Structure 1
Amino acid sequence: MKLGFDNDKYIKIQSQNILKRTKLFDKLYLEIGGKLFDDTHASRVLPGFQADVKVKMFQKLKEDIEVVFCISANDIERNKVRAEYGITYDTEVIRLIGNLQKMGFSINSVVITLYKNQPTVDTFIAKLKRYKIKTYIHRYTKGYPTDIDTIVSEEGYGANPYIETKKKIILVTAPGPASGKLATCLSQLYHEHQRGVNAGYAKFETMPVWNLPLKHPLNMAYEAATADLGDVSMLDYFHLEEYGEKAVSYNRDLEVFPVLKTILNRIVGKDVYKSPTDMGVNMIGECIKDDKVVQEASKKEIVRRYYNEMCNYKLGIAEYEVPERVKKLMNELKIDEYYLDVVRPALKKARRIDKHVISLKLPSGNIITGRETDLLSPASSLILNAIKELSNIPDNINLLSPTVLKPMLELIPRTEERDETLGLEEVLIALSISSVTNPSVEEALSSMKKLAGSDAHATYIVSNGDLKMLKRLKINLTCQPVFYSNKIYTLSK
């Protein structure tokens, strides 16, 4: 894989820029835009960017850091799911806390934002208490966003409990967007200044990249990733007016900035920032070493987002305008849904054999497929074929004998929610057991890590166990917006 991003340079200059900002204040509340862990979007659009690079960078500063998590009560109530792993936001918070604690970070607390006495939220709070994790409740801020006098008063931010913090840098993070991070930071700034502490605010996010062109595919990929939120990359007109310099921001930051600037002025007593761009500490742009590689990766990501949103629409969890937004971005870049190499082979084979198929592009560039059989799901067939290819095992040799698979299929109880084939997880368990006595299987299993980052395309909406396992293998899966029961395949081109 060609690399377009210098990960080591990023760790160095990004940490330097954050430390430079901390010197302006006694205490810095740093809002983490995007993901602190597992930034798989950034790793896909910036080949060379390690998904956990941000947390590794912060590890160098961890003696001066404590972490505050925010989660919206609304997201808890509706069981909002993090798409990459298929787990709910509340579960994700607990997972992230555990990971950070193992790395030696100091976890301060979890803030429940927009709390309205929801029973499901109370259950989550009780769960956090059992884990001995301190929790704070923030309700809707009175007067927000227009009545500044009320917002910056005991009735507004003053109504929120003060979060006791001790260290120089407070990372304010969340399992996803719209979790109340900014409001939590501003509430804390109000309380800190009431106590005579010179506390400041800054924002650390990877996308959009402020010093790249507005219509750079990397910034357009950010729009595709946030199409459900309606985010649009825009020129920072505040920055242009103040400095005569073009910079890229996005609609939500630009819309809220006049209010944010006024609130900060009222709290701190001066204009700290002149533009949304000023608030950021992002150094992504300086670490791109091959722009062509990044542009190509970003275009592919936009197509992946299109398929994802089309499937969400088919499943009834997104309005049609969401994939339409992504389609407009594709049209601007003059690419279509067949831009990924794996799409046509899957559709063509499915049409030819009238069975579900998943195709995958190997590191060598070869494209292989897996189809549903009497015993195996398409995902199971695909991974078996892939690891055989990677291990140079002849096609006519079975890694798992049908005599092993059939009893497994008979043993596993069937329900209406389960397919009548062995899923990928079951097949991998069987392979693991077999590898103890079969060196060929052991070699094939060890090659599976080479599939990370590979593109795959399914002729149906992959769900449940197979989807989770493919994600664990870090395969970039796209799906046709077709349910598993649909046996009709068409190829329009």
Structure 2
Amino acid sequence: MRVGFDNEKYLELQAARIKERIAQFGGKLYLEFGGKLLDDYHASRVLPGFAPDTKFRMLENLVDEVEVIFAINAGDIEKSKARGDLGITYDEDVLRLADIFRANGFAIAGVVLTQYASQPAADAFRARLEMLEIPCSIHYPIEGYPHDIDLIVSEEGYGRNEFVETTRPLVVVTAPGPGSGKLATCLSQLYHEHRRGTAAGYAKFETFPVWNLPLTHPVNIAYESATVDLDDANIIDSFHLEAHGETTVNYNRDVEAFPVVKALMEKILGKSPYQSPTDMGVNMVGFAISDDEVCREASRAEIVRRYFSAATAVKRTGAGQEQVSRLKVIMQKAGVDKDFLPTRRSALAREAATGYPAGALMLSDGTVVTGKTSERLGAASSLLMNALKAVTGVDPELEVISNSAIEPISRLKIAHLGSRNHRLHSDETLIALSITSSASTTAARVIDGLPLLRGCDAFFSVIISDTDEQIYRKLGINVCCEPKYERHSYYHG
């Protein structure tokens, strides 16, 4: 795939910038880590060359200086709030992240339950953490938060919160999702540190919006499309413009909240080290863009993908039409429409020509491969096989998977698993291909082509099954669907 981002340059610049900020505060920094730390697929899509685990790799360069605090809102535990991309609840994701950090040599300082009000599910999670020997601290709701500065920065405010003991110069405060209380955790820790006479500071790490790109740059517009459910927007940081005479971009919520954050820091530290939300940030991603046009094009494609994702969700659930409407406005701002993706045009044309649901996938060299529902394979399976044949140089007309591998799976589905569809889904197709590969060098060659599909775009003329979509995403293929079902029915399980 065309690369527009220098990952190695970014790793170097970002680590150096964080070290500078640690030194600025006398040797200790609480770093609020926004966005996805490990699975940042949005960044990898809009900045081709950015690896999904880049931020984690950057922290690995500082591993001996880092301790990690996980913040999780007790209310989110009570509501069983889940990550949409992974399908696991926030409390489970905290444990998943803790395992990953621990396995890579990071010190775990503990978990902070924010907004704790004796929620039963939060108490159960707290007991679970105790059993796992993970330190857990409680932070309470503060009346008048965030505007009653005198109460917040007092013994009855931050002073009531349990302090997390840390010993290393960089304390990364991360969370499973937004609204978890990362900022409040950082400032509460800062309050307790300064009561103990420890010099410490706070900074914020957010990849998007990219502060030193124009407001109308597609990379920044793509971020608006990614957060359309929050009904927020990127704006010019007016505080930075006034203080420094420099135009930068920030998120409207951060700009609106800055006077309060500044007042809190003044109350805690005596004076605020920052004059703007941009000042608080340490993000260097804008300096590692190596091909601006590649990133612009990738971001435009991402905006359109977000539109189809929202439109498909409306078709599935009946909710979210306002998000679709807002995404139409965002597409107009970026100068694209729903016909922007060449894969969509190809998939719809294949369906019109054959009368069957179809899909199209663009390979890294720009070639578009199509596939349709057949007697043995669904559209997603057919497209996957055709794409694999294309990248491995196998004759597209050759039947790679043996009938002896397909038929038992089809029979099992119908006779024992209660399915009415004998055609193979993508996961079943890959199993059949793997079985065939034990006796067929061609099948083995085809299955070895899977890594070559990572980063490719696929589009389907109908909504595909959750199973097919999950397999495509695991393979690193970006998936969009026309917001319609293959058949008219009330239930699509």
TM-score with structure 1 length normalisation?
A: 0.94
**Conserved in 1, the CA contact under 8 Å of 2:343 and 2:361?**
yes
What residue in structure 2 maps to residue 301 of structure 1? 302
**Conserved in 1, the CA contact under 8 Å of 2:237 and 2:278?**
yes
* Equivalent position SS for 1:23: helix
- Report deviation, 1:415: 4.0
Taking the TM superposition and a 5 Å limit, the aligned residue runs for 1:344-359 are: 344-359=345-360
* Equivalent position SS for 1:202: strand
5+ residue gaps, structure 2, are none
What residue in structure 1 maps to residue 451 of structure 2? 449
CA distance in structure 1 between the partners assigned to 2:132 and 2:430 by the alignment? 33
Q: Which moved more, 1:205-214 or 1:394-403?
A: 394-403
Q: Which moved more, 1:210-219 or 1:96-105?
A: 96-105
- Report deviation, 1:385: 1.5
CA distance in structure 2 between the partners assigned to 1:117 and 1:372 by the alignment? 53
CA deviation map 1:386-439 (0-9, x unaligned) = 1112222223322212332122122233347x8543221122122223222221
Letter in 2 for 1:8: E
Letter in 2 for 1:414: L
- Report deviation, 1:314: 2.6
Residues 1:355 and 1:233: Cα distance change in structure 2 (over 3 Å): same
Residues 1:190 and 1:300: Cα distance change in structure 2 (over 3 Å): same
Letter in 2 for 1:473: L
* Equivalent position SS for 1:82: coil
- Report deviation, 1:295: 0.9
**Conserved in 2, the CA contact under 8 Å of 1:309 and 1:318?**
no
**Conserved in 1, the CA contact under 8 Å of 2:221 and 2:334?**
no
**Conserved in 2, the CA contact under 8 Å of 1:228 and 1:318?**
no
Taking the TM superposition and a 5 Å limit, the aligned residue runs for 1:116-195 are: 116-195=117-196
What residue in structure 2 maps to residue 291 of structure 1? 292
CA distance in structure 1 between the partners assigned to 2:326 and 2:339 by the alignment? 18
- Report deviation, 1:51: 1.5
What residue in structure 1 maps to residue 332 of structure 2? 331
CA distance in structure 2 between the partners assigned to 1:134 and 1:69 by the alignment? 10
Residues 1:76 and 1:381: Cα distance change in structure 2 (over 3 Å): farther
CA distance in structure 2 between the partners assigned to 1:374 and 1:23 by the alignment? 65
CA distance in structure 2 between the partners assigned to 1:108 and 1:364 by the alignment? 46
CA distance in structure 2 between the partners assigned to 1:210 and 1:113 by the alignment? 29
Residues 1:321 and 1:268: Cα distance change in structure 2 (over 3 Å): same
TM-score with structure 2 length normalisation?
A: 0.94
CA deviation map 1:202-224 (0-9, x unaligned) = 01111111111111111111111
What residue in structure 2 maps to residue 469 of structure 1? 471
- Report deviation, 1:326: 1.8
Taking the TM superposition and a 5 Å limit, the aligned residue runs for 1:24-423 are: 24-25=24-25, 26-316=27-317, 318-412=319-413, 413-415=416-418, 419-423=421-425
Letter in 2 for 1:306: Y
* Equivalent position SS for 1:315: helix
Residues 1:341 and 1:80: Cα distance change in structure 2 (over 3 Å): farther
Residue among 435, 444, 462 paired with 1:433: 435
Q: Which moved more, 1:180-189 or 1:428-437?
A: 428-437
Residues 1:9 and 1:124: Cα distance change in structure 2 (over 3 Å): same
Residues 1:431 and 1:167: Cα distance change in structure 2 (over 3 Å): same
CA distance in structure 2 between the partners assigned to 1:365 and 1:62 by the alignment? 40
- Report deviation, 1:129: 3.6
- Report deviation, 1:486: 4.0
- Report deviation, 1:117: 3.4
* Equivalent position SS for 1:172: strand
CA distance in structure 1 between the partners assigned to 2:486 and 2:266 by the alignment? 56
CA distance in structure 2 between the partners assigned to 1:75 and 1:419 by the alignment? 38
CA distance in structure 2 between the partners assigned to 1:130 and 1:341 by the alignment? 53
Letter in 2 for 1:436: S
Residues 1:93 and 1:458: Cα distance change in structure 2 (over 3 Å): farther
CA distance in structure 2 between the partners assigned to 1:230 and 1:419 by the alignment? 40
Residues 1:77 and 1:327: Cα distance change in structure 2 (over 3 Å): farther
What residue in structure 2 maps to residue 490 of structure 1? none
**Conserved in 2, the CA contact under 8 Å of 1:85 and 1:471?**
no
- Report deviation, 1:112: 2.4
5+ residue gaps, structure 1, are 488-493
CA distance in structure 1 between the partners assigned to 2:264 and 2:314 by the alignment? 39
* Equivalent position SS for 1:47: coil
Letter in 1 for 2:270: G
CA distance in structure 2 between the partners assigned to 1:90 and 1:354 by the alignment? 46
**Conserved in 2, the CA contact under 8 Å of 1:189 and 1:200?**
yes
**Conserved in 2, the CA contact under 8 Å of 1:273 and 1:279?**
yes
* Equivalent position SS for 1:228: helix
Q: Which moved more, 1:60-69 or 1:310-319?
A: 310-319
**Conserved in 2, the CA contact under 8 Å of 1:143 and 1:156?**
no
What residue in structure 1 maps to residue 5 of structure 2? 5
CA distance in structure 2 between the partners assigned to 1:18 and 1:136 by the alignment? 26
Q: Which moved more, 1:124-133 or 1:157-166?
A: 124-133
CA deviation map 1:75-106 (0-9, x unaligned) = 33444343333333333322222222221111
Letter in 1 for 2:487: S
What residue in structure 1 maps to residue 22 of structure 2? 22
Q: Which moved more, 1:381-390 or 1:446-455?
A: 381-390
* Equivalent position SS for 1:234: strand
**Conserved in 1, the CA contact under 8 Å of 2:405 and 2:435?**
no
CA distance in structure 2 between the partners assigned to 1:365 and 1:117 by the alignment? 56
- Report deviation, 1:66: 0.6
- Report deviation, 1:122: 3.6
**Conserved in 1, the CA contact under 8 Å of 2:240 and 2:246?**
yes
Letter in 2 for 1:13: L
- Report deviation, 1:484: 4.6
CA deviation map 1:42-91 (0-9, x unaligned) = 11111111221111111111101011112223433444343333333333
